[in-house]
Structure 1
């Protein structure tokens, strides 16, 4: 709606300046002022989310091992030079594949806890009232993601491994199982 107000104010300003009549100068100044305020409102909304507030939603979920129920691990995939990590988690043992965390405007952290769980804190921009939604609704910024934070609460007996480390561990466990089987056959 603010775009329509801007267009109408500019048209009014041009009209009141092209057709000079007595008493049109104050109307031209008022329409110019409305146009300038509309532009300032659009810029403030675009850069600083003017007319919006931050809404925070926190969800807590239980975690199960990312690999197998017998091996309590939380897996991650390193990005770039390894400082950034995409964690892969499961909330149920029936999940076939672990779910990766979202990467857009995201931060992940680890904490030690008694029970494995995960907290997802999501902050989104929403309109502060109906008037602001009426003015700026066309820009599509409602429910825009501001920030998402994952906090993984992992017990001390859990390991946090990269996918590469988990595959290496899996190979070592397979070798040990084969060796144990051979030793049992030799005993018989």
Structure 2
């Protein structure tokens, strides 16, 4: 809607500046002011989410080991130089592969507690009122992600290891099992 108002105000400004007439100067100035206000409104909405508010949704899930039920582990995949981590988690033992956290506008925390759990807190931009929705709906910013926070609560017996270290651990366990089988055959 704000685009339609902007176009109409710009056309009125041009029309009343080109065609001379009595009272055209006043209408021309009013249409120029409306044009400028529309442009400022669009810029403020795009950069500062003007006309929007934030809504936060929190979801808590039980956490199980990322590897096997016998090994209480939370896996991560290091990114780049290793300072950023993509955590891989499971919420039940029937899950075949662990789920990765989403990386868009994200932060993660590791807390210690009695029960393993995962709290996902998602903050999104939504329109403040119907007027803002009507004016800015063309830009599709409704439900735009502002921030997502993952909070892992892990008991003291849980370990956090990288997928590389997990592969090394699996390889060592397999070698150990082969050595035990070979020793039992002799």
TM range (shorter): over 0.9
Question: Helix, strand or coil: the match of 1:57?
Answer: strand
Gaps of 5+ in 2: none
1:129-160 deviations in Å (ceiling 9; x for gaps): 01001000000111111111111111110110
Range with greater deviation from structure 2 (19-28 or 131-140): 19-28
In structure 2, what is the Cα distance between the partners aligned to 1:50 and 1:15? 31
TM-score, structure 1 length as denominator?
0.95
Report the counterpart of residue 83 of structure 2 in structure 1: 83
Report the counterpart of residue 101 of structure 2 in structure 1: 101
In structure 2, what is the Cα distance between the partners aligned to 1:171 and 1:20? 87
Report the counterpart of residue 92 of structure 1 in structure 2: 92
Question: Helix, strand or coil: the match of 2:109?
Answer: strand
Question: Helix, strand or coil: the match of 2:22?
Answer: coil
Report the counterpart of residue 133 of structure 1 in structure 2: 133
1:42-65 deviations in Å (ceiling 9; x for gaps): 000010000001110111011000
Deviation of the 1:183 alpha carbon: 4.3
- Give runs of aligned pairs for residues 10-49 of structure 1, distance below 5 A: 10-49=10-49
Question: Helix, strand or coil: the match of 1:126?
Answer: strand
- Give runs of aligned pairs for residues 63-74 of structure 1, distance below 5 A: 63-74=63-74
Deviation of the 1:185 alpha carbon: 4.5
In structure 2, what is the Cα distance between the partners aligned to 1:163 and 1:43? 44
Gaps of 5+ in 1: none
In structure 1, what is the Cα distance between the partners aligned to 2:179 and 2:85? 34
Question: Helix, strand or coil: the match of 2:69?
Answer: coil
In structure 2, what is the Cα distance between the partners aligned to 1:176 and 1:116? 30
Q: How many residues are matched?
A: 186
In structure 2, what is the Cα distance between the partners aligned to 1:185 and 1:161? 34
In structure 2, what is the Cα distance between the partners aligned to 1:47 and 1:81? 31
Question: Helix, strand or coil: the match of 1:97?
Answer: coil
Report the counterpart of residue 169 of structure 1 in structure 2: 169
Report the counterpart of residue 3 of structure 1 in structure 2: 3
1:84-142 deviations in Å (ceiling 9; x for gaps): 00000000100000000001111111111111000101111100001001000000111
Q: After the TM superposition, which parts of structure 1 deviate over 2 Å for at least 4 consecutive aligned residues?
A: 175-186
RMSD value, Cα: 1.1
